[in-house]
Chain A
Amino acid sequence: MTSRAAPALPAGPATQPAPPPPPPAALSRDQLVEIYYYLRLTRTLEERLVALYRQSKVIGGLFRSLGQEGESVASAYALDRGRHQDILSPLIRNLGSLLVMGAKPVEILRQYMAKAESPTHGRELNVHFNDLERGYLGQISHLGDMIPVMAGIALTFKLRGEARVGLVYIGDGGTSTGTFHEGLNLAAVQRLPLVVIGEYNHWAYSTPPAKQFAVRDLAEKAKGYGIPAVTVDGNDVIAVYEATKLAVDRARRGKGVHFIEVKTYRRKGHAEHDDQHYVPKEDLERWAQENDPVDRYVQRLLGADVVSEADLKDIDDRVRVEIDQATDACVDEPLPQAETALPGVYVDPPAADTLWFKAL
Chain B
Amino acid sequence: MPEVTFLEALRQGMWEEMERDERVFILGEDVGPYGGAFKVTDGFVKRFGEARVIDTPISEAAIVGAAAGAAHMGMRPVAEMQFIDFISCAYDMLTNYVATARYRAGLATPMVVRGPCGGYVRGGPFHSQNPEAAFLHTPGLKIVYPATARDAKGLIKSSIRDEDPVLYLEHKWLYRRIKEQLPEGEEILTPIGKARLAREGKHLSIITYGATVWKSLEAAEQLEKDDGLSIEVLDLRTLVPMDDAAIMQTVQKTNKVLIVHEDTRTGGIAGEIAARINERAFEWLDGPIMRVTAHDVPLPYAPTLEDFVLPQTDDIVKAARWLAAY
Contact = CB atoms under 8 A, between A and B. Distances in A.
B49 to A, nearest CB: 10
Interface stretch (B8-16, B57-65, B167-175, B298-306): B57-65
Interface string A177-189: 0110011011001
Interface string A125-151: 000111010000110111001011111
Contact of B93 (A128, A145, A156, A349): A145
Contacts of A141: 96
Contacts of B25: 159
B104 A142 contact: no
Interface stretch (B68-76, B145-153, B176-184, B282-290): B68-76
A155 B92 contact: no
A156 B163 CA distance: 18
Contact of A148 (B65, B72, B75, B104): B65
B102 A346 contact: yes
A153 interface: yes
**Which of A147, A149, A183 has the most C-beta atoms of chain B within 10 angstroms of its own C-beta?**
A149
Interface residues of A, number: 40
B62 A156 contact: no
A347 B93 contact: no
Interface in B42-92: 51-52, 54, 56-57, 59-75, 77, 92
- Interface centre among B25, B100, B105, by most A CB within 10 Å? B105
Contacts of B52: 159
Contacts of B163: 346-348
Interface in A151-197: 151-156, 159, 178-179, 182-183, 185-186, 189-190
B322 interface: no
B73 A151 contact: no
Given A137-B72, A159-B75, A345 B102 contact: yes
Given A145-B96, A179-B92, A344 B103 contact: yes
Contacts of A190: 54
Nearest to B54: A190
B51 A159 contact: yes
Contact of B103 (A123, A142, A183, A185): A123
Given A145-B93, A154-B69, 9 more contacts: A140-B100, A142-B92, A148-B93, A153-B70, A155-B66, A179-B61, A183-B61, A185-B57, A344-B106
8 contacts: A120-B105, A145-B97, A179-B62, A183-B62, A185-B62, A186-B59, A346-B163, A347-B102
**Top-4 shortest CB links A-B:** A152-B69, A148-B65, A152-B66, A182-B62
